[in-house]
Amino acid sequence: MSSSTKLDKDGEGKCVESKLYRSMIGSLLYLTSSRPDIMFSVFLCTRFQANPKESHLKAVKRIFRYLQDTPSLRLWYPRDSTFDLHAFLDADYGGCKIDRKNTSCTCQFLGNMLISWFSKKQNSVALSTTEVE
């Protein structure tokens, strides 16, 4: 799922079985430990577990199709990599369409190996982009 894709509550959408939706989300959450490329999309879909709609289920199925088409993508740690530590941080200003809260993301690399990543929706709403960063 593209990071520009915005899911919302979809008030007029048709409801789907929440037990099925939650089990699909649980499977994807398990996979995020070895597939960080799906983390953003999975955590975006987890926000709608209380009242999932067809549009949310369609997004989850799109993640499964992506996993099926990219089985060779995974974390890989080669032996001959350097030990230079690099960290990247990003924050968006009011990125969540529902409550306009900010999301902060960070990832750390040791050489060219991903060793840590984190994404969190902030508790408060920032009033400027400077405050977000």
Domain boundaries, the chain: 18-69, 85-132
Contacts of 31 (CB under 8 A, 6+ apart): 38, 42, 67
Q: What is the pLDDT of residue 94?
A: 63
- For residue 8, is pLDDT > 80? no
Q: pLDDT tens-digit profile of 88-116?
A: 988 776 666 667 677 778 888 888 778 88
- For residue 63, is pLDDT > 90? yes
Query: What stretch of H or E contains 18?
Result: helix 18-31
Q: What is the pLDDT of residue 96?
A: 64
- Among candidate residues 48, 70, 66, 68, the one with its CA nearest the CA of residue 57: 48
Q: What is the pLDDT of residue 66?
A: 93
